A and B are shown apart, each in its own frame.
Chain A
């Protein structure tokens, strides 16, 4: 039962899953603004929501680009300093014009061939599953990002609101 109004529901009593115990909770920090950095938190969030868990993601610093309506369509894979490219790309080659675009196109191709949604698609799926999307207000201030720049459903919040949610998490990951 809710005893008082709270901004983001951190300490309010949690809805049970009908099995006599509270729902599990996943708290993620998404801190990376690259294409390869965007998928893991979105995949984990969609999975946890499918398991009936409560999920919140705090998008902070470059990770906030995942919630950015324009930028999240243009997230990229960096070939420089990335030793995991399928064909090894020496850093001195990775800096050449077009290499980032090539690495990005390659990953987008993998995802498409595997029938996996793109980043906007995963966000839509997360939102439909009730995942809370916390947009870091400090990042918005520092980077000059406005609420209208973000996908609908993003909750602007500071670290305090997220920690209030994360304090009761069963699993917390920084990605």
Chain B
């Protein structure tokens, strides 16, 4: 698969407050671990997640919709998907 930016803010390279390595994990673990990591973040903070489950490209935009997070970026490079999610104020 070619490198691609799925979502907005292609020019922005966001800095992350927390990084999560979900490489080698299959659904539901990347989303489960992301949900747990989000609990440790304050509103406005950004989580960076790396995944290798190809379903993640569909799952993380859905997670963002369901949890009302902002998906700042979703990219794929060399079989690794990288997501930046911002936790919004509740």
Identify the A interface with B (CB < 8 A): 17-19, 24, 43, 46-47, 49-53, 114-116, 125, 129
Query: Chain B interface: which size bin?
Result: 10 to 19
Cβ–Cβ < 8 Å partners of A116 in chain B: 26, 29
Q: Given A52-B66, A52-B67: A115 and B25 within 8 A (CB)?
A: yes
B20 CB → nearest A CB, Å: 13
- Residue B4 at the A interface, CB < 8 A? no
- Residue B31 at the A interface, CB < 8 A? yes
- Interface contact A46-B28, CB-CB below 8 Å: yes
Using CB atoms, name the residue of chain B closest to A52: B67
Main secondary structure of the interface of B (DSSP, over half): helix
Identify the B interface with A (CB < 8 A): 24-29, 31-32, 34-35, 62-63, 66-68, 90
Using CB atoms, name the residue of chain B closest to A51: B66
How far apart are the CA atoms of A43 and B59 in the complex, in Å? 14
How far apart are the CA atoms of A73 and B53 in the complex, in Å? 27
Cβ–Cβ < 8 Å partners of A49 in chain B: 32, 35
How far apart are the CA atoms of A24 and B62 in the complex, in Å? 14
- Interface contact A47-B26, CB-CB below 8 Å: no
- Interface contact A47-B25, CB-CB below 8 Å: no
Q: List 27 A-B contacts (CB under 8 A).
A: A18-B68, A18-B90, A19-B68, A43-B27, A43-B28, A46-B28, A46-B32, A47-B27, A47-B28, A47-B31, A47-B32, A50-B28, A50-B32, A50-B34, A50-B35, A51-B31, A51-B35, A51-B62, A51-B63, A51-B67, A52-B67, A114-B26, A115-B24, A115-B26, A115-B29, A125-B32, A129-B32
**5 A-B pairs closest in CB distance:** A18-B90, A50-B35, A51-B66, A47-B28, A46-B28
